[in-house]
Structures are given as C-alpha cells and as structure tokens.
C-alpha cells in the first residue's frame, strides 16, 4: 500500500590490509590453487574481533618474509584475469620481503592486545541475531541475548561494530539479516498503529466495529467472526508469541460461536491468514480516511470566509482614507 523507495546500494569500504589478510586466510578466491604456506605460529585473529588495521599489515609482512625464506614460488591462478601479471606482482612482494624489525615485532605484540580478544564466534553470532531480533538501537535487549557479556561490554562492541562493520568479509549477508529483522519490527509497529486507530473509533468495538471489505470479503467468515478476531487480536497483543493459538482457544470458548462449527474447526495458521487479510483491509481504510482528512484540512486552510474578506477590504479602505487626510493636513 505504501510506495517503496529503494535504499541506495551499500558501498563496502575496502581496507586492503584487512581484506588481503582474511582473503588469504580463508582461501575463498583460490579453489583450484594449492594453499600458500604460512608461518607455523601465526596468531589466531578473526575479522569480527576488530584488531587495528596496522596489525594485519605486520602479519602480512611476516607471512611474505616466511615464504621468501622457504623459497616459495607463486603458481598461476586460472580463475583470475591477467593471471601472469598477478603472479609476477605477488612473487615480487615475496622476493622483496624483509623481516620484521625488533620495533615492529614489539608493535605487533602490543596490537594483538587491542582487539576484542574475548569475543568468540559464538558471541558474535548471538550479537548479530540479537540485532536482527530487536533492532540495532535496542542495546539493553541485545546485551541480554549475548551470554557472558556485560551491558557495558556489548555497548562498547556495538559502537565499534557499526563503525567498522564494512571490514567484515560477510558484511553484505550480515547486514541483510539485520535489516530483514528491523523491517519486521517496523511492520509490527505499523500493524499495532493501524489496529489502535481502528479500535479507537468505536466505544464498544466488539459490537460496533465494521470492516470495509470492498470486493475482498470472501464467503467463509461472517462479519461477526471477523469483528471478534480483530478485537481479540488487539486485546491480546498481535505480536505475542503463540497469539494465534490463544486466539483459537478464545474462539472455541466464546459462547456466541458454540454452534458455529466452521470457525471452531479453524487452525491457528488459518486464523493468522484471515487476520492478515483483515489487517490489510484496515490499513487501506485508515489510509483513505487520512487522505480525506488531509484534503479537507487543506480546503479549510485555503478557503477564507467572505465576512473576513469584507473586513479586510474595509480595513484597507479606512486606512487609505486616514493617510489621505494626513497628507492634506
């Protein structure tokens, strides 16, 4: 019902030191080429731990020098264009590699303490799922979902995550997951607002509520049944867990439906589908009412009563006569 405005395409900010390190570590771009050797005692660093980018420059330098010491020769990769040029460039890096200086080694050890070293992959996955469930701004609920982490730790991690998330290898997939969850949250807010507005128009909605069906009424459910479903859904809270199973139980216990075998035999899934249809009708009706109110308000704002117009004209004339008298005097 609402015109969709496509958001701009997200641009992934490239951090070449980080990207090169993890592309090499994951081997995602070299399925047909043998794995290049790495030093035996490399530290285990993960992209979601957000170490300083300088650390990856030093680790890459260490790896290149190790390959130089063992005489490693870069093979051609048939999966990339200009494989000969790429091979020469990579081999040149190895041939010209230098070992870490004592100062760089000390710097590396210091940088290894500056990431989120106590965050595991499990912690990270819980954090992402909590962002999907509650939205990125609900830090309190997100913190409760990440086991073993205090609210302060989650708050600190969240600030760095949203500042540097473009360094993650799977950022497109992660952001799509979070944005899908946030879209569901906004949809729930929109439905609640629509139901609140509809119910608020009636003093006794269980008896008075009317639905503008148009051509979408269908032949199975009566208006009394639809009215009961919408009013009970609003009363119980449509976003509660297992709400449609509870709604099914309410229908079975309702005295007005004790001989209505059709509605008493419906499943929770069928009630959910019917309520979704009714919510769409209510949203359409609310939009039409809002549009009519907007048009009427605009008309009232632009329309000046004749009496006010005459008063304005007479006031202008009288002020003009006073100005003429002053000039003559």
CA gap 71, 259 in Å, rounded: 87
Residue-level pLDDT at 145: 93
Residue-level pLDDT at 81: 75
CA gap 226, 198 in Å, rounded: 13
**CA distances from residue 278 to 217, 240, 292 in whole angstroms, order as listed:** 9, 18, 21
Confidence of residue 324 (pLDDT cuts 50, 70, 90): very low
Q: What is the mean pLDDT of the chain?
A: 83
CA gap 154, 145 in Å, rounded: 10
Q: Pull the structure tokens for residue 297.
A: 């308000």
pLDDT by residue (tens digit) across 197-235? 999 999 999 999 999 888 777 778 999 999 999 999 999
Are 286 and 2 within 8 A, CB to CB?
Answer: no
Residue that has been written with the tokens 């210091």 in this structure: 110
Q: Pull the structure tokens for residue 285.
A: 């009706």
What is the separation, in whole angstroms, between the first and last Cα of the chain?
A: 69
SS3 131: helix
CA gap 179, 133 in Å, rounded: 10
* Gyration radius from the chain CA atoms: 34
For the cut 60, the answer to whether the pLDDT of residue 304 exceeds it is no
CA gap 230, 276 in Å, rounded: 10
Q: Which domains does the chain have, with CATH numbers?
A: 16-77+85-113 (1.10.1040.30), 121-184 (1.10.10.60), 204-300 (1.10.10.60)
Q: Pull the structure tokens for residue 298.
A: 């605009």
Report which secondary-structure segment, H or E, holds 148. none
Mean pLDDT of 17-40: 62
Enumerate long-range contacts of 105-108, CB under 8 Å, 24 or more apart. 107/54, 107/58, 108/55, 108/58, 108/59, 108/62
Are 67 and 36 within 8 A, CB to CB?
Answer: yes
User: Which of 4-13, 113-122, 222-231, 289-298 has the least mean pLDDT?
Assistant: 4-13
pLDDT by residue (tens digit) across 170-207? 899 999 999 999 999 999 999 999 999 999 999 999 99
């Amino acid at each position: 019902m609402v015109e969709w405005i496509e958001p701009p395409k997200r641009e992934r900010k490239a951090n070449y030191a980080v990207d090169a390190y993890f592309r090499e570590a994951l081997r995602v771009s070299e399925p047909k080429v043998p794995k290049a050797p790495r030093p035996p005692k490399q530290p285990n660093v993960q992209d979601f731990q957000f170490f300083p980018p300088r650390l990856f420059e030093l680790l890459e330098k260490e790896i290149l020098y190790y390959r130089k010491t063992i005489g490693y020769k870069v093979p051609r990769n048939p999966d990339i264009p200009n494989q000969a040029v790429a091979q020469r460039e990579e081999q040149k890096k190895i041939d010209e590699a230098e070992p870490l200086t004592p100062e760089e080694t000390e710097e590396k050890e210091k940088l290894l303490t500056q990431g989120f070293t106590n965050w595991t992959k499990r912690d990270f996955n819980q954090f992402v799922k909590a962002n999907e469930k509650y939205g990125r701004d609900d830090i309190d609920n997100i913190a409760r979902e990440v086991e073993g982490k205090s609210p302060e730790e989650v708050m600190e991690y969240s600030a760095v995550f949203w500042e540097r998330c473009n360094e993650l290898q799977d950022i497109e997939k992660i952001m799509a997951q979070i944005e899908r969850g946030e879209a569901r949250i906004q949809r729930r807010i929109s439905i609640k607002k629509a139901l609140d507005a509809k119910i608020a128009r009636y003093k006794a909605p269980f008896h008075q509520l009317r639905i503008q069906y148009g051509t979408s009424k269908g032949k199975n459910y009566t208006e009394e049944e639809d009215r009961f479903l919408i009013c009970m859904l609003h009363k119980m809270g449509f976003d509660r867990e297992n709400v449609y199973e509870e709604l099914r139980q309410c229908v079975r216990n309702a005295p007005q439906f004790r001989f209505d075998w059709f509605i008493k035999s419906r499943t929770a899934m069928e009630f959910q589908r019917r309520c979704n249809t009714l919510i769409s009708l209510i949203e359409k009706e609310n939009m039409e009412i809002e549009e009519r109110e907007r048009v009427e308000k605009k008309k009232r704002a632009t329309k000046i009563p004749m009496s006010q117009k005459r008063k304005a004209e007479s006031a202008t004339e009288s002020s003009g006569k006073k100005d003429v008298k002053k000039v003559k005097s």
